[in-house]
Every structure is written in structure tokens, then in C-alpha cells.
Structure 1
Amino acid sequence: MAQRTATIASSVGLHARPAALFVEAAGDTGLDVEIARPGEDPVDATSILGVMALGAKHGEEVVLTADGEGADEALDKLVALLSRDLDAE
């Protein structure tokens, strides 16, 4: 299982538009991807309700995990996405 840590760059955190873009990208990987705040239970990264319920705010870290072929590359792309201010785009 591959794992990465990302810092939320979007000014509103992982809510609304940034969450929707992240969920779409996670779904596009075709892998089982999970996201969690450190020390908390992970949620399905393809679930908009699960991702928004995390309450991850600007500047906070999240842990991404994925299983399957291409998991490392997929997580690298998702980390890059979360590292951008998706509200400004």
C-alpha cells in the first residue's frame, strides 16, 4: 500500500469546489484511495460527503493511501492537486 502526506493549500480547506475536484481526481485513478487527518479514521477519497466531513482546513496535513498498480503515481498526482489553491483556479 502506497502512502503520501499532503498539505491542504486551498484557502477554504477541503470543502466545496476543492473537495469536488479532489474526489473526481481520486475516482479517475481507478484505485481504492483513502484520505485521513493524522490520527483519525480514513474515509473513501471518492466520497464527496466523506471528504467534506473530514473538515480538513487550509494548512492542515492529510494522509493519502492507495492500493493497486500505479498507486505511487496516482498519489503523487493527488498530492500535487491538494498542494494547489483550487479556489483560485
Structure 2
Amino acid sequence: MAERTVKIAAASGLHARPAAIFSKAAGEQPAKVTIEKVGGAPIDASSILMLMTLGAGHGDEVVLRAEGDGAEESINALAELLETDLDAQA
């Protein structure tokens, strides 16, 4: 299992556009990925509805975990997305 704590860079947090971009990318990963706010319960990172209920805002730390083939690569790709201002992506 791969795990990484990441700080959310998007100004609006994981809401609307950033959540859509992130959930799509999570669904394309070879490993199953979960995300949680520090101290919270893990949710499926590929579910846009679950992401929007996570309540993760700008500057919040979240924990990504992945299991299966490509777990480390999946975590790295998704962490890079969260560390980017997804509000600015077209």
C-alpha cells in the first residue's frame, strides 16, 4: 500500500471543477485510490460526489492511499494534481 499526505492547492478546494478533474484522474489510475481528510474516514477518490462531501478546502491536508499494481505511481500522479491550482486548468 502506498500513502502520501498532500496539501490542497486549488483556491476552491476540492469542489466543482477541481473535484471533477481529480475524480476523473483517480478513475484512470491502475490502483484503487482513497482520499481522506487527516483524521477522517477514507472515501473513493474516483467519486466526484464523495469528493464534494469531503469538505476539503484550500490548504487542507488530505491523505491519499492506493492498493494494487501501480499504487506508488497512482499516488504520485494524484498528489501532483492536488498540489496544482486546478481552478486555473482549462
Offset of 1:32 from its aligned partner? 1.3
SS at match of 2:64: strand
Offset of 1:69 from its aligned partner? 1.1
SS at match of 1:35: strand
Considering only aligned residues, what root-mean-square deviation do their CA atoms show, in Å? 0.7
Check if 1:59 corresponds to 2:59.
Answer: yes
After TM superposition, the score normalised by the length of structure 2 is: 0.96
Identity of aligned residues (%): 55
The aligned residue for residue 25 of structure 2 is 25
Instruction: In structure 2, list runs of 5 or more residues that go unmatched.
Output: none
Matched residues, number? 89
Instruction: In structure 1, list runs of 5 or more residues that go unmatched.
Output: none
SS at match of 1:64: strand
After TM superposition, the score normalised by the length of structure 1 is: 0.97
The aligned residue for residue 15 of structure 2 is 15
Check if 1:72 corresponds to 2:82.
Answer: no
Alignment partners' CA distance in 1, 2:38 and 2:67: 19
Offset of 1:7 from its aligned partner? 0.7
SS at match of 2:72: helix
Query: Which runs of structure 1 show a deviation greater than 4 angstroms over 4 or more consecutive aligned residues?
Result: none
Alignment partners' CA distance in 1, 2:76 and 2:46: 16
Offset of 1:28 from its aligned partner? 0.3
Alignment partners' CA distance in 1, 2:44 and 2:70: 18
